Structure 1
Amino acid sequence: MNALSDPEPQRSIDVAAVSALDEPNRRRLYDYVSGRGGPATRDEASDALQIPRQTAAFHLDKLADVGLLDVEFERRTGRSGPGAGRPAKLYRRAERDIRVNLPERSYELAGQLLAQAVDEAESSGESPRTVLARLASQLGHDIGHQTGGSDRQLLETLERCGYEPRVEADDIALVNCPFHKLARTHRQLVCGMNLHLVDGLVTAAECPQRHARLDPRDGYCCVRIGTTTD
């Protein structure tokens, strides 16, 4: 059996990735890089976490070695050619999925919603997209009913759902998409489902000052939660 068909090499990589996060500074660095809207340098990570630059560099490289972070190089001076200096080494959260859900993915949930939508559409005569929107909204309502009406409680619920919410100005940005890989290949369908799910959650949570909208940006979920004054 070759490496492409054998799950053990991938499983070993995933275990190594998770084990790497057992070290406290390494976990803090991973959370810091994951929560940024763009890549981070060693100096930025060192300053943010108040740890020595050498320590930050060591742990960032370890996270890259096990596939949790991607590395890129960029000259941040705006200059090129001789005398421009060496490009800065930048780190961002890796695109690949870790099987232990770092970042958290909910493909099984998406599959259940899609399958149920097809079944109901066949019996009701509605379009599968219409049924999917209703099912996603109902699921969001079920989750939202267990949430209080404050931003803090809404953030806690979104965190439990795997969205990795971050407050940015007046918005609640969702750093992680639980349906990431599906959204890349079926963007309109999956992002629409996700919007109805989050909108149902926010509505049932009785946060009248909040509403969900589609606002796709690099490094974020396609859904963003704004204020009613937007």
Structure 2
Amino acid sequence: MSDSWPRRRLLAILRGTNEPLDAQELARITGQHVTTVRFHLDVLTRESLVRQFQQPPRGRGRPRIGYSAVQRSVGYQDVAQVLADQLGPDPRRRSEAAIAAGRAWGTRLAASDHRVESLEDAKEVTMTLMSELGFAPERDPASWDEDRALIRLTACPLRELARTHSEVVCGVHRGLIEGLFDRPGARGAIEVGMHPFVEPELCVARLEMAAPRCDSIQETVTVPVAGVAEMLTAPSARVAPQLRNADPHLAKQSAQQW
């Protein structure tokens, strides 16, 4: 549009009206000659800043050409793209930052009066929220048992961005679900996994009961010291929870595990 005050003024007028205006109406508003107005409107049209519409004639004559400003908006996809690009080059750090952000988001979204104390609670809360956010979740009853559940996410709102920034997008979504359970009575009880693109248009969320943790298993040993047996304790290593074998429904899942 260059540095043209007349064109900026025409564009501002068109953005402030709900209906298309023709060149004569704009000439009357601006005080410019109608030929000059048409020249500026042609430039704005070529730059895709305004759009032309055919309008009925006033009385007899040819149809009029009306003009309306092209409204531009910034959507969720655009904002997510900008943020994803600013998380740095290290995929691991990008993933960690995304999970932390998603967890904070999920904590804010969680209903304070709904405690998550079992896998059944976790399934219901996850299905409800992901449905509200547009993921079109589907239950996979064949994979559900008392220890684990798989939820099929068939409509990710950021699917195209996830194809190029999966560590960010899927990390946020994993953290989002984790945040739902990050409350008294549930912290550490449910483990969340996100399996992106197990099929071209399908991702899968995994909810699993965490294995019991033993933070301080002690062993009693007898050691002779100067003829006297003293009892010593030696702390053993922390026992890490083990994930179950891969479910057959995820035979095609991504090798990347979240």
TM-score by length of structure 1 reads 0.39
- Pair member with larger Rg: 2
| Structure that is richer in helix per residue | 1
TM-score in terms of structure 2 length: 0.36
Q: Tell me which of the two structures has the higher relative contact order, counting C-alpha pairs closer than 8 angstroms and 6 or more residues apart.
A: 1
Say which structure is richer in strand: 2
